[in-house]
Structure 1
């Protein structure tokens, strides 16, 4: 679990790259600059840890491209103490970014292998989510709702209604919607049944899998 000066230097270069791509939120850039992304990847991929690319992790999933993580996080407009639901814990990298920003994170993962690995790994780095849950992200987490914001880190063919209903008034849902290519979509809850929708261009994600159990 080493984090060397070299790693810190590479991280700073990564911050410069995503800033050049248009990420403006200083707190998000600082979080990316602080979190040792190489520790979230298999040692064989260490050289790739600070490139702005997605990479494979266990269970046929990927660790998202840092720019994508920063982009989604920036759309959430995270404030310290925000209660955030994350759908798709994956490697835990996005979870760590949200924790670094002072959010109370509830995160759901449906791949047992990843859930077990990340549950053990995140606390070792000092990132403590409020709750890591093994389950179906399509259903959200009704017992902890409402949330200040919800982030979906996998491509969703449609927008799950439970997620919209579990947002606070004023809350934000950031979700990549589509089959092969996803459109990054932001929903802001304006009232009990009113949502404002904004679209932010195309991204590629692994699919959000619905629990068949």
Structure 2
């Protein structure tokens, strides 16, 4: 409306689910993909009895849980029994990782640095007039979706992460917990028409993010 009335050249870009470096790996309020990476990583460490790796992880990002109104926090200095108890609250055990829902919801994921690249592409190459059809009288939905246009189930993402991390335990689902919205695929036809396509597919992205995660744990541990 501002563009139409005043001749400005603002463009709105709308991202899909993003993941990448500096993501949020908090076990309670993180994004779904980094949360799964951390849970499965910790389960693998427990499964292999690698307590040094477990303590490195929770030393960098302490884990807390509230039970009966009392907050419990475990970090690198906590007793093994306390760590096992708190991690189990989040479905993390040596034998299995339990995730919320059925694993059936479909999600689309875009590497965060590609969101930045797409934004710069739009900034440098696209004008407002390019976001709608020439001669269109009722101009609406002129934002630009930024995504891959590809979707996969949460279960498929979790299985890819299991394979990347190499966890040999079970992947379980707690169907008593909500699935959330079943589908969120974006239409990226406009973005493709304007000359931008993603290049990082989900398998490469999961590999990159897990490498970044491990590197961050090692660097911070050495710093301490």
TM-score interval, smaller chain: under 0.3
Choose between structure 1 and 2: higher strand proportion. Answer: 1
Normalised by the size of structure 2, how large is the TM-score? 0.24
Choose between structure 1 and 2: higher helix proportion. Answer: 2
Normalised by the size of structure 1, how large is the TM-score? 0.25
